[in-house]
A = this chain, B = another copy of it.
Amino acid sequence: MKEIGLGLLGFGTVGAGVVRGLQANGELMASRLGVKLVLRRIADLDLESDRGVTVDPGVLTTDAKAVIDDPAVDVVIELVGGTGVAKEFVLRALEQGKPVVTANKALLADFGAEIFDLAREKKTDIYFGASVGGGIPIIRALREGLSANRIESIHGILNGTCNYILTEMERAGVPFDECLADAQAKGYAEAEPSLDIDGFDTAHKAVILASLAYGGTVPMDAVFVEGIRGLSDLDIGYARDLGYRVKLLAVIRANEGAVEIRVHPSLVPLDSMLASVSGVFNAVLVNGDMTGDTLYYGRGAGADPTASTVLGDVVDVVRSLESGSAHRIAAIPESGDEIRIRPMPEITTRYYLRLCLKDEPGVLSTITSVLGKHQISLASALQKDEPEENHVPVVFMTHAAAEAEMDAALKEIAALDCVGAEPVRLRIEG
């Protein structure tokens, strides 16, 4: 059977998963492909650590460039991560016309245009299925399965760390800090967790999904990002009483010639599919104009699920090599233009507000009059619990309103004498 040579850059957790996958299912993949995949070289700076898999020591090297340049390496798998040497390695491989499979969301979010352009120029493939959703084949669904659809919106739970913390905050009714510490103890969160919990990891993935859905590129700084760090378990509990669950969502929505791309905690209805996604699982809900809602669910991280998608991409790349159809599908649709992003103040959504109000006559009327002045109408208002130090939490649910108006209204409200702590504002989806 013909052999195709693979070169692996980065022998960390996912890299070890790729090796394990090839060892366990290489024969099965060969029977599906008609070609044998042979891992010829692995580059990593650390050649000593035990990864729990056995490889021929002759395969290992610290020299990534030698792996890329090796004529016996037909496909390069980039699992180094980050935007430093990884970028250099990916460009070097593409420059030689070698297809690249990567899971590197930060690299694509920051340098996607340059990388995709080079792949196009060299008529070779860059596959990045594992950059969003780990083991969920969502990139493939967007790029191929839904290719007859105009994508109306995408709602993604794209960060397992955040989803685990939010699930535990609701389940156990405990504060954020405690849940974060628990997630760190279990290995679901990094010691330095800000990339996850402040929403930037989700934003990287949102940029990739938006590029796929609408063509063109999206600068990271065009994405509104709010993480889960400031979230109170009080609001998670109140939301639940109102029939909602709080999720960190990437929201991507096209309307009137512009695209919203925003990442923030959102209330989703308890009976929705997104609300059912618990723990470290991820899910992406895509609304296409023909197919309506479709949802893709699975493990968004972890060695084996991520390696599953990396190897699925390798299979695809090898099919194209074997059938002489490299660059059969553009990495992203080639609109060539930047996507027109709707600035955050121009979006319209429903809101959950929690205000800490003096327990006095006339206070509610003062608040509703400020909201009314900004064309914000209420769906409900609910006083929670007993007053404490003469203040009481009141939860408001609004109808759809403009973000700019809400910003202005909340500024006015925060300055009122009858308002205690800083107002809490969450957005509602679905």
A residues in contact (CB < 8 Å) with B: 17, 21, 24-25, 28-29, 31-33, 129, 135-137, 140-141, 144-150, 215, 271, 273, 275-278, 283, 288-299, 302, 304-305, 307-309, 311-312, 314-316, 319-320, 323-325, 328-330, 333, 335
Contacts and interface: CB of A to CB of B under 8 A. Distances in A.
B325 A149 contact: no
B25 A315 contact: no
Contact of A297 (B147, B275, B297, B319): B297
Q: Is the interface of A mostly helix, strand, loop or mixed?
A: mixed
Copy number of this protein in the oligomer?
Answer: 2
B295 A291 contact: no
A277 B276 CA distance: 10
A170 B323 CA distance: 51
A32 B147 contact: yes
B29 A148 contact: yes
A25 B290 contact: yes
Contact of A320 (B129, B299, B325): B325
A31 B335 contact: yes
Nearest to A292: B299
A187 B140 CA distance: 33
Given A137-B144, A148-B315, A291-B309, 17 more contacts: A24-B150, A24-B290, A135-B294, A137-B145, A137-B294, A144-B312, A145-B309, A148-B311, A148-B314, A288-B308, A290-B304, A290-B308, A292-B299, A293-B298, A294-B297, A295-B295, A295-B298
B298 A297 contact: no
Nearest to A304: B290
Nearest to A333: B32
B273 A292 contact: no
A299 B305 CA distance: 26
Given A141-B141, A312-B148, A305 B290 contact: yes
Nearest to A29: B148
Contact of A292 (B150, B215, B290, B305): B305
A416 to B, nearest CB: 42
A148 B19 CA distance: 12
A135 B145 CA distance: 9
A255 to B, nearest CB: 16
Given A297-B273, A298-B294, A304-B291, A141 B147 contact: no
Nearest to A285: B297
Contacts of A150: 24-25, 28
A31 B323 CA distance: 24
B145 A129 contact: yes
A250 B117 CA distance: 44
A319 B148 CA distance: 13
